[in-house]
Structure 1
Amino acid sequence: MRRRLIQSTLAVVLVVIAVFGVSLVIVETRTISNSAQERVDSEALRLASIVDSRILGEEHINAEILKNQVAENRYAVIRVPGQAPVELGIEPTGDVIHSTAKGEEGETVVVEEPRSAVTREVGRTLLIIAAVALLAIIAAVLLAVRQANRLASPLTDLAETAERLGSGDPRPRHKRYGVPELDRVADVLDGSAERIARMLTAERRLAADASHQLRTPLTALSMRLEEITLTDDPDIVKEEATIALTQVERLTDVVERLLTNARDPRTGSAVSFDLDEVIKQQLEEWRPAYRSAGRAIVSSGKRHLRAVGTPGAVAQVLAALIENSLMHGGGTVALRTRVTGNQAVVEVTDEGPGVPTDLGARIFERTISGRNSTGIGLAVARDLAEADGGRLEMLQAQPPVFGLFLSRTPLKRPPLVDDEEPTVR
């Protein structure tokens, strides 16, 4: 494209120079020739007037007297009746410009000038015109190169941006070029890059959340199936199978909730539920794992509390806190329930060293972990708690105390506007 822009600009300039240059050469050549002819005619008339005045004054007419009346590069012949011709200057050879003038006393004056003088003057004019044309061509080339670079470089940048988008690098460049059309394309590409980045972030978050939230039910289901394989007692098999079916239902609920949040995180399914049942289910689910680790998990506090939320989401939050205590904590893990204002609170604590000081409030940020783990468990748990109007906080760092706050009255959700597009969490 750069070459085509330069060639097209140069072609236009050459056409303009050819049209106006040839016209200028023709006009200047005629002007110079006419000026030379007018000078010779004027010279002849002037000499004829001088000769007339000398004849009337009965003065001598000879070459010595009139030699200073003719220019150096001209030749003149004066013919007076009854006298010999008087020649002034050197007679030129070749093509000449001549003029003849007749005096009132019958004399004839002929003035000649070599045409070579006109040719030299025309040549000098042509050189000037050619020099000006050359300067115009050079200026046109420089301007064309600059303009081509101004247009071609942005297009190259935009092509690179589009290629980066296609290769999975959605970072917007926020670069503008001072050309409205190109800036418009850059705006569109940057907007597309930002949308793609949000989509990729949402997809990565969904994948991370899904893997983390599905891991706990799958682990629990695996433990129940292992219990079945290790016993021959039909009653134990039936009991463990019933618990395994419950885990399958939880797994199905987690999958449905993930898909629902991926479509629109505002379409929550908060209901009033018995908090004791969720805590009891978590204790039964995690006791085998704690027993295998030589530790205990217990519950205490106010009973028969009802809270508002999604039971499956609350179970996932508690599971994340219990799993954190199993992996990073120590001693007995305790789940305590209490009431504060219009909220039901579930506190999860253990006897371990607690949260390192350098982590502090960053413990809920994604990829932040005190050990070699994914670092998204608490972040996902906080998102799940906030989805139904609750909140998850770290109440104490050492020993660690995490509090899940749930409302005790139903929440009023704002209606979804028809033309409002759902976003992906």
Structure 2
Amino acid sequence: MITDRWFYGPLRSPLGRRLLAAFLFVALSSVAVLTAAALVGTAQGLTSAQQNDRREAAARTAEAAAVAYQRADGWAGADLTAASAIAGAAGAGLVVRDGDDQMVWPGRGMGPGMNGMHAAPTVVEAPVITDGRSVGDVRLAFTTTATAGRAVAWSWVLGAAAVALLTALLAAGYVTRRLTRPLHALIGAARRFAAGEPAARARTGGPGELGELADAFDTMADEVVRAGQVRRRLAADVAHELRTPLAALQAGLEELRDGLREPGIERLAALHDQTLRLGRVVQDLADLSAAESAALSLRRTDTDLADIARTAVAAYQGLLDAAGLRADTDLTVALPVYADPDRLHQAVTNVLANAARYCRLGDRVTISGHRSGDVAVLEITDTGPGIPADELPHVFQRLWRGHRARSVAGSGIGLAVVRELVTAHSGTVSAASPPAGGTTITIQLPFARTARADR
């Protein structure tokens, strides 16, 4: 189960194999370097400790030889058995020489020395000091090494290396699986989505950036699905808007063609109204397309947003009066902006047209402006029925007409055009509607010098 989970899974994909190979290479290299360093360090430590022990043994042997020399008042008759025992306990043969470099120990028939030693010994010397002068020296010949200590060190180091390698293998398999699993889920979701499954999502909580990538893919898929729904709704709404006037035009023209009705002024005027309705729908779509590319066609100049609003209200006054609305302005403060006056005029008139379309007879529309820091603020407020809270987030979406779509004429493009035009000027537009009724559309644009700096 462990092998299947940690190794067979990642090995099923090329990326998993590459990652696992890379992790294993790093793990093996690290374990090899650490093992070699541990063995070298252990060997040097054992050698240094062994040398210190041998020097101490030589020093103790020299002290014992000095005591024997003082007791015998010379090397002749000195009993060096104690010194030989110290050397033997340290695993070394003892040779004692006098000041003339003549061998004193071992004598004939006496204790072990270097005779008969086949292996090349390691000799450690120490002077024999009595009364502050050197009377000879002792030489300890060591033929054994710290093989037992090295064997223990090797066993521990190699055991630790095996445990580290096993841990590295398990960690490599775990990390590889953690990295490849969200990628496999993302690849599968992308393939299913491309194959026509709109509900395909990665939905995997991968580590770090992989999780963010999966979330970004899911968000993108949601937006693609939403955009597809908007396109389908757009096609349906445009078809619905065009179907009625086209059907009326077709029926009227067929009647005139077949001679069922005379081409009188009233009948021709009705057909002309249907063509105007078609023209409005087509113009709305053209305005939206132009607004979406407004950033490429803006003719900016230093202008006053308050003057633009006053001009727009004056130009639209007749239609507001026809709708039974009263328009008031509070535009006494200059609002200098660096913008395209024609585009902003179009944005303001679209808001006014939207108010005229949805407000009731006798309602009031107020256009006011003020400054807020380095921002010019234009507010268009009406006393109409307002917008439901659940529809407010959608009012600037193209073709959104809300629950009153059946009772109010229009294509649902006007406010979408407003948003595109204001955004092209590095501004923002928002809508607010309190529960008591009424709607406020707020347009915010940077002042002229701020707008120039942004460019």
In the superposition, the TM-score normalised over structure 2's length comes to 0.46
| Pair member with larger Rg | 1
With normalisation by structure 1, the TM-score equals 0.49
